[in-house]
Amino acid sequence: MRSALPKVLHPLAGRPLIGHVLAALAPLAPARTVVVVGPEGAAVEQAVAPLPTATQAERLGTAHAVLQAREVLAGFTGTVLVLYGDTPLVPTETLARLVAAREASTNPAAVVLGFRPRNPTGYGRLVTGPDGLDAIVEEKDASPEQKALTLCNSGVMALDGAILFSLLDQVGNANAKGEYYLTDVVALARARGRRVDVIESCPEDLLGVNDRADLAAAEAVVQTRLRRAAMAAGVTLTAPETVFLSWDTQLGPDVSIGPFVTFGPGVTLEAGVTVKGFCHFENCTVATGAIVGPYARLRPGARVAENAHIGNFVEIKNATVEAGAKVNHLTYIGDARVGAKANVGAGTITCNYDGFSKYHTDIGAGAFIGSNTALVAPVRIGDGAMIGAGSTITADVPDGALALTRAPQDTRPGWVAKFVARLRPARKS
């Protein structure tokens, strides 16, 4: 990845790659889960906490990695799923099929998840026969005939926990890479007279992330899935390919979303919300019937209530806009409350930061804030109060009062003609 960030912590739809893997696993309610990390895996350990981790001090191959889980899995005799933190798209349903195949009446020692990519180059090949899977051959060790096979190994397996570690103890490293391959357990299990099976999944589910291009490809897959799920649930996406959702985006029925809208993590839009184009949301909530955009930005802590209007080039941060209130254009509302049915004019800002601390602005119900107003927090504008356009408000305004600050207007009749007459000779010279 050419990154200081561990690969499995790179975000995909707003969640780390490994978070997707663990989320797919969670509905199966595993009795034990262990995450094997590298020698510099502190960040990964923190990300997966409180799950136990095991450290692979030397990267000696996949079988060696699984061996590091021996202590956590001591005494476990059920099915062991081996998953990969950089293969984030395997759905829960596929994992459930894998477990079911392992626990079938034929009692296979292992079940391998295979797929058929358009181009199998680089993948290990699955060599099958009448009695199931005969062997997994890495491409570097494959014969020309084996390289011609199209069924490939994803690396994902379900194994019999009762014999797993005894098999792993027999794995050697006499191969082109000098590594201990997990795939060797297939031949070892067959040598014990145990059956090994294969189930297949689509290549999209098994996309591995090895670089930034792979990450972008995985993002495209996830976004397509999220968009389809949203539309199936009753959400209108005018231009689906331009809307980017997070893994936890919550969209109610009859939400309508225009083009070029981005959702960061932690966003909930309730039923009937209308979002116009080019908006950005992150860690915020928008209630039923509200209208947002175009070109609006709702930052963390923004809470927009029922039937409120948030218009173009409006930014809301850590603030509540109550029912029916309107903040329609060119405005910043931060660390504030905008009361029900209040109207905030264009160019208004809440001056919430003095360089050291944040302060709160409270705008009462039904208040009217004139255009180009600066509200210097901490300050309260009372219910039904009015602020004259162009004002800088530094003190509380009582309910129903008018407040304004401005210099007196100086009007000079005929001044322009005299000014032009004075300057015209100078221009000719």
Q: So which residues are the catalytic ones?
A: 329
CB 305 within 8 A of CB 321: yes
Measured CA to CA, the distance from residue 352 to residue 370 in angstroms comes to 18
62 is in an annotated binding site: yes
CB 35 within 8 A of CB 51: yes
283 is in an annotated binding site: no
7 is in an annotated binding site: yes
210 is in an annotated binding site: yes
418 is in an annotated binding site: no
- Sort strands 152-160 and 79-82 into parallel, antiparallel or unpaired: antiparallel
CA separation, residue 131 to residues 104, 193, 196 (Å):
15, 11, 8
Measured CA to CA, the distance from residue 216 to residue 11 in angstroms comes to 10
31 is in an annotated binding site: no
138 is in an annotated binding site: yes
346 is in an annotated binding site: yes
343 is in an annotated binding site: yes
Measured CA to CA, the distance from residue 322 to residue 305 in angstroms comes to 5
Which residue is associated with the tokens 């209308």? 274
Nearest to 6 by CA among 52, 30, 37, 51: 37
84 is in an annotated binding site: yes
124 is in an annotated binding site: yes
The residue type at 76: F
**Helix, coil or strand: residue 327:** strand
Measured CA to CA, the distance from residue 150 to residue 70 in angstroms comes to 33
Output phi, psi for 377, to 5 deg: -75, 150
75 is in an annotated binding site: no
**Helix, coil or strand: residue 197:** strand
180 is in an annotated binding site: no
353 is in an annotated binding site: yes
Nearest to 332 by CA among 309, 351, 349: 349
Which residue is associated with the tokens 């980017």? 244
175 is in an annotated binding site: no
312 is in an annotated binding site: no
85 is in an annotated binding site: yes
**Which alpha helices (DSSP H) does 73-148 contain, by range?**
92-102, 144-147
317 is in an annotated binding site: yes
CB 21 within 8 A of CB 34: no
The residue type at 222: V
Q: Please, is 127 exposed, middle or buried when counting C-beta atoms within 10 Å of its C-beta (0-12, 13-18, 19+)?
A: middle
Annotated binding site for UDP-N-acetyl-alpha-D-glucosamine: 7, 56, 61-62, 84-86, 124, 138, 153, 210, 299, 317, 332, 343
Annotated binding site for Mg(2+): 86, 210
Annotated binding site: 7, 56, 61-62, 84-86, 124, 138, 153, 210, 299, 317, 332, 343, 346, 352-353, 371, 389, 406
